[in-house]
Amino acid sequence: MLVGLSGGADSLALAAALAFEAPRNGFRAGAVIVDHGLQAGSPAVAARAAEQARELGLDPVVIQTVEVAGGGEGTAEGGPEAAARTVRRTALAATAADTGAIRVLLAHTLDDQAETVLLGLARGSGPDSLSGMREDSDGFLRPLLGIRREQTVAFCADSNLIAWQDPHNLDDRYARVRVRHDALPALERTLGPGVADALARTAEQLREDAEALDHLALEWAEEIAEHSEAGIALPVAALASQPAALRQRVIRLAVEHEFGVALSRTHTLAAARLITHWHGQSALDLPGVRVDRRDGRIRFTAATGRPGPPDGAHGSDRSDAPVDTA
């Protein structure tokens, strides 16, 4: 196993725990440090983190130097932060493959989970986003999701581990930093203690619900779907008879599994209107997929043109549009 190590208190505490547990459970444990190059002196920070990993007894210890598109300019949560996260995950996965590691441990805490849920709630991102981070997903493990950040800080202090303080974690241009230092403390003052724990519990409950619904939707989609070289078709009558939550999930999952495209809620609802509000619309050109209705079926094929705007995704009314009374 590898631990993703930044040198901060969370990842340093996790690295120490892994170094303690690994030999007692008969497996090797190493560390990978990703240097994004976004701050002056980042090579020295990476080298110090690697030194601490070796002092803890981790082996191998790998430093991955990466380049983030745009050089980290901008302040949007979905901008440099998302770009750095994508590059980091790619580097971690590549190191795991190179070293034969079966998992990469990430040091996200309960506080990180609560921040993720609150950000998703503010954006109206839906239940998938509100379900937060999974403990085990795509080769990554997050064993600290039930641990508070203050506990990792205390552990490092008690263990004489010197944690690095990332300046980005104090930069209030970033939405996550504002949530961490302003929004969550304000909620705690207004509503009382325990808000972070409640958000984390909500994420766990929503994740359980989402997994169950996805499983049911996939099973049902496999039963009713008609596959062809052009794509996939679903019977309108069957979809129309189901609750909106299941109908929309089937549409989203069918497209994702057939074309590898993740439809937004806006685009999923646009496709669903071909079932529930049919009045002869033309085909919809959505990101990565074209959707139309014909012969009692809603059909999905690979996109051939430029996606239309989300707010115009009803499709245009045409006098020559096929009449489908299904």
Question: Which DSSP string do the residues of 35-81 spell out, in sequence order?
Answer: E---STTHHHHHHHHHHHHHHTT-S-EEEEE---GGGG-S--IIIII
- Asked if 93 and 236 sit in the same domain, the reply is no
The amino acid present at 220, given as its one-letter code, is W
Torsion of CA 211, 213, 219, 221, to 10 degrees: -120
Nearest to 92 by CA among 47, 134, 62: 62
Residue 80's pLDDT is 67
**What is the percentage of the chain residues whose pLDDT exceeds 70?**
90
pLDDT by residue (tens digit) across 84-93?
Answer: 888 999 999 9
Collect all residues with Cβ–Cβ distance below 8 Å to 41 and sequence separation of at least 6: none
Better pLDDT: 215 or 314: 215
pLDDT class for 78, splitting at 50, 70, 90? low
- Asked if 23 and 150 sit in the same domain, the reply is yes
Mean pLDDT calculated for residue range 36-55 = 90
Rounded to 5°, the CA angle 147-152-156 comes to: 160
Q: What is the CATH number of the domain that holds 290?
A: 3.30.465.60
Partnered with residue 233 across adjacent β-strands are: 226, 299
pTM: 0.78
- Maximum separation of any 2 CA atoms in the chain, in Å: 76
Map residue 249 onto helix, strand or coil.
Answer: helix
Nearest to 134 by CA among 211, 213, 196, 80: 211
**In whole angstroms, how far apart are CA 130 and each of 8, 147, 193, 254?**
26, 19, 20, 22
Collect all residues with Cβ–Cβ distance below 8 Å to 308 and sequence separation of at least 6: 284, 285, 286
57 within a domain of the structure (yes/no): yes
pLDDT by residue (tens digit) across 205-260?
Answer: 999 988 898 899 999 999 999 998 889 999 999 999 999 989 999 999 999 999 99
27 within a domain of the structure (yes/no): yes
127 within a domain of the structure (yes/no): yes
Mean pLDDT calculated for residue range 65-71 = 75
Total domains in the fold of the chain = 2
208 within a domain of the structure (yes/no): no
319 within a domain of the structure (yes/no): no
325 within a domain of the structure (yes/no): no
Q: Does residue 320 surpass a pLDDT of 80?
A: no
Count other C-beta atoms under 10 Å from residue 302's C-beta. Answer: 12
Q: Does residue 72 surpass a pLDDT of 90?
A: no
State which residues form the domain around 249: 225-312
- Asked if 70 and 162 sit in the same domain, the reply is yes
User: Are the beta carbons of 304 and 280 closer than 8 angstroms?
Assistant: no
Half-sphere exposure of 22 (CA within 13 A, CB side): 21
Mean pLDDT calculated for residue range 74-86 = 63
Residue 319 buriedness (CB in 10 A; 0-12 / 13-18 / 19+): exposed
Residue 130's pLDDT is 83
